[in-house]
Every structure is written in C-alpha cells, then in structure tokens.
Amino acid sequence: MKLLLIEDDADLAAYLVRGLKEAGHTVDHAADGKGGLFLAAGGNYDVLIVDRRLPGLDGLSVVKTLRGADVKSPVLFLTAQGGVEDRVEGLMAGGDDYLAKPFAFAELLARISALARRPPLSEQTTRLAVADLEMDLVKRTVTRAGQRIDLQPQEFKLLEYLLRHAGQVVTRTMLLENVWDFHFDPKTSVVETHVSRLRAKVDKGFDSELIHTVRGAGYSLHAPDAD
C-alpha cells in the first residue's frame, strides 16, 4: 500500500517508516503540515497517517483542507490526546479513525489495513459470509454449514464486526471501540472472554476454525485456507 505519514517527531517517524516498510508498504514522510498537505494533494495515497499536533499548520486543519479539496484518501489521526472529545473533533474534521499515543505497532498496522480495505458504503449489505458461515443482517440469524447458531446480541455484534473485516487483523482496541463503544482500556478481559464464547459457538464442533488469534495483535476471521 502507498502511505503518507505526517509526523513531526523525527524518532517516532523514523521508527514508523521503517516498520511500515518492513510490513511491505510504500511510505512517504512529511515533517510538518504544509509539506504533508503538498504531498497529499499530489500523490494518490491509500491511507494518510496524520499527527494532530504539528508545527505550523496542525493536523486537523490539514485534513479539513484536504477534504475541502476533495481528497478522499482515508485518514488515521495520531494523537497524544486520547479524550473522547478530541476523537469526535478529529472524526468531524474528516478523519476516519483515531489512534492515541502511545500505541502498539501492531495496532497501527491493523488499523491501516482496516481503513484501506474499508468497502465503499456497505450499508446496503444484508448478508455477510465467510466460507460456510453466513449472517443475515435483516433476520438477525447466523448459520454455519446450514446449521443455525444462536447468538446473544453482543455476540452477534462482535461476529458482524469480524465478518465485515474478514481477512484483516482486528485488534482488541478496535473491538472495544466498535462493538462495546468503550473508549478506554478495561482492566478485565472483556474481549478475550467474549471472543472465546463466540468461538465456542461458531467454531466448536466444526471441522475448521474461522476465528484466529493473531499473536501480539488481535484476531482475524478468515477461511481456513486463506493464509
């Protein structure tokens, strides 16, 4: 993927550029808002990674300007301020996701993939499927190999999110934010417990596992032969 990183902290930027390149991405880097705006306006990037606090033109203004100029590349904000209000402000300015510093590199990778592969407005979708697992969003039913699986509302929401991001790595934080609307880090293993319950219903008793644990990163739902 072709990425643009707008980050003024030289150490962090160097670390991120190296990591992203090792993960197989092409990365351009700008150290301030103006340079970032210049690059973003010219190149066709799959994802923009924008620090909110930048010297001169700040990240929020950069994204507002880009959106005003009809640049549609998805934007991931990086910030030292992780408050809910800041997050809302970033999303209102045209950002697509928000990651508070400090973050694990795996978290950043997962979010970049999720953003780049975000399907164009899939709200009309009524049916999600991976391998022999099917979800009917209208009837709110789930079947695997034609067999009905009964899910609690939260399990249904969790599986829906995994299905919508099938084939991608989904981190614990992404699940907390999108399934439970928790914008903080709970001290207990909420995600792990619910995923293991979901696994017991979706995978147990079937010949192949669909929900996979990605060590040090999160989870991924995909067909058994996908990797």
> Residue 183 CB, nearest distance to other proteins (Å)?
5
Q: Using CB under 8 A, which of 188, 204, 207, 215 touches other proteins?
A: 188
Q: What is the distance of C-alpha 144 from the center of its chain?
A: 26
Provide the 8-state DSSP code for 174: H
Is 181 a binder of other proteins (CB under 8 A)? Answer: yes
Instruction: Name the residue nearer to other proteins (CB basis): 180 or 206.
Output: 180
Instruction: Name the residue nearer to other proteins (CB basis): 200 or 226.
Output: 200
Instruction: Name the residue nearer to other proteins (CB basis): 147 or 193.
Output: 193
Q: Using CB under 8 A, which of 29, 111, 165, 194 touches other proteins?
A: 194
How many chain residues are in contact with other proteins, going by CB under 8 A?
A: 23
Contact residues for 51 (Cβ-Cβ < 8 A; gap 6+): 6, 7, 8, 9, 59, 77, 78, 79
Cis peptide before 119 (omega within 30 of 0): no
Binding to other proteins (CB under 8 A) within 145-164 occurs at 152-154
Count CA within 13 A, CB hemisphere, residue 46.
15
Rg of the chain on CA atoms, in Å: 19
Task: Please identify which residue in the block is written with the tokens 């697992």.
Answer: 133
> Residue 50 CB, nearest distance to other proteins (Å)?
21
Instruction: Name the residue nearer to other proteins (CB basis): 126 or 188.
Output: 188
Q: Which of 91, 96, 105, 85 is nearest to 47 (CA)?
A: 96
**Binding segment for other proteins among 22-30, 35-43, 45-53, 186-194 (CB under 8 A)?**
186-194
DSSP labels for 67-108?
HHTT----EEEEES---HHHHHHHHHTT-SEEEESS--HHHH
Instruction: Name the residue nearer to other proteins (CB basis): 102 or 146.
Output: 102
Binding to other proteins (CB under 8 A) within 42-101 occurs at 81-85
Residues that bind other proteins (CB under 8 A): 81-85, 102, 152-154, 180-190, 193-194, 197
